[in-house]
Structure 1
Amino acid sequence: MSKVDFKFRPSETRGGADHGWLKTFHTFSFASYYDPKYESFGALRVINEDRVAPKTGFPTHPHREAEIFSYIISGELSHKDSMGNVETMKRGDVQMTSGGTGIAHSEYNDHKSKACHFLQIWALPNQSGLTPKYYARHFTDEQKKDKICEIVAPVGAAGVVDEREGDGPTPVHANLYFLTSLLSPSVPLTHILRPRTSRSGSGAAGKLFYAQLVQTSGYNTGPAQGKAQIRVEIQGKEAVLGEGDGVFVKGVQEGMRVGLENVGTGVGELVFFEIDA
Structure 2
Amino acid sequence: MAKNTVQFRPRPSDERGNADHGWLKTFHTFSFASYASRAHNAFGCLRVINEDRVAPKTGFGTHAHREFEIFSYVVSGELQHNDSMGNTEVLKRGDLQMTSAGTGIRHSEHAHGNKQVHFLQIWALPSQSNLKPAYYTRHFSDEQKKDQWAHIVAPISAPSAKDAREATGPAPVHAPLSLYATLLSPEHSLQHTVEAAGASRKAYVHVVQTSGYNPDKAGGATVKVSSAGAEDVVLREGDGVYVDNASGAVLEVANVGDGVAEVLLFEME
TM-score (norm 1): 0.94
CA distance in 2, matches of 1:77, 1:195: 36
Cα offset, 1:9, TM superposition: 1.3
CA distance in 1, matches of 2:71, 2:256: 30
TM alignment of 1:148-187, pairs within 5 A: 148-187=149-188
Number of the residue aligned with 1:274: 267
Cα offset, 1:272, TM superposition: 1.2
Letter in 2 for 1:184: S
Cα offset, 1:217, TM superposition: 1.6
Number of the residue aligned with 1:247: 241
CA distance in 1, matches of 2:36, 2:124: 18
Determine if the alignment matches structure 1 residue 215 to structure 2 residue 209.
yes
CA distance in 2, matches of 1:206, 1:127: 18
CA distance in 1, matches of 2:93, 2:217: 25
Determine if the alignment matches structure 1 residue 29 to structure 2 residue 31.
yes
Cα offset, 1:72, TM superposition: 0.1
Number of the residue aligned with 1:137: 138
Number of the residue aligned with 1:118: 119
Deviations 1:83-128 (A, max 9, x none): 000000000001100000000000011212x100000000000000
Matched position secondary structure for 1:128: coil
Quick one: structure 1 residues 236 and 3, their matched pair in 2 at CA, closer, same or farther if it must change by over 3 Å?
Answer: closer
Kept in 2: contact 1:8–1:247 (CA 8 A):
yes
Matched position secondary structure for 1:224: coil
Deviations 1:210-265 (A, max 9, x none): 00100112112101221x211111223221110111100101113x2111110111
Matched position secondary structure for 1:108: strand
Letter in 2 for 1:14: R
TM alignment of 1:183-202, pairs within 5 A: 183-196=184-197
TM-score (norm 2): 0.97
List, as ranges, runs of 4+ consecutive aligned residues in structure 1 with deviation greater than 6 Å: none
Matched position secondary structure for 2:14: helix
Number of the residue aligned with 1:64: 66
CA distance in 1, matches of 2:48, 2:125: 9
Number of the residue aligned with 1:76: 78
CA distance in 2, matches of 1:139, 1:90: 10
Q: Which runs of 5+ in 2 are unaligned?
A: none
Kept in 2: contact 1:42–1:208 (CA 8 A):
yes
CA RMSD of aligned residues (A): 1.0
Kept in 2: contact 1:217–1:224 (CA 8 A):
no
Cα offset, 1:79, TM superposition: 0.3
Kept in 1: contact 2:184–2:260 (CA 8 A):
yes
CA distance in 2, matches of 1:274, 1:220: 27
Kept in 1: contact 2:6–2:229 (CA 8 A):
no
1:229 to 214, 222, 227: 222
CA distance in 2, matches of 1:158, 1:93: 21
Cα offset, 1:159, TM superposition: 1.1
CA distance in 1, matches of 2:41, 2:107: 24
Matched position secondary structure for 1:55: coil
Matched position secondary structure for 1:252: coil
Q: Which runs of 5+ in 1 are unaligned?
A: 197-202
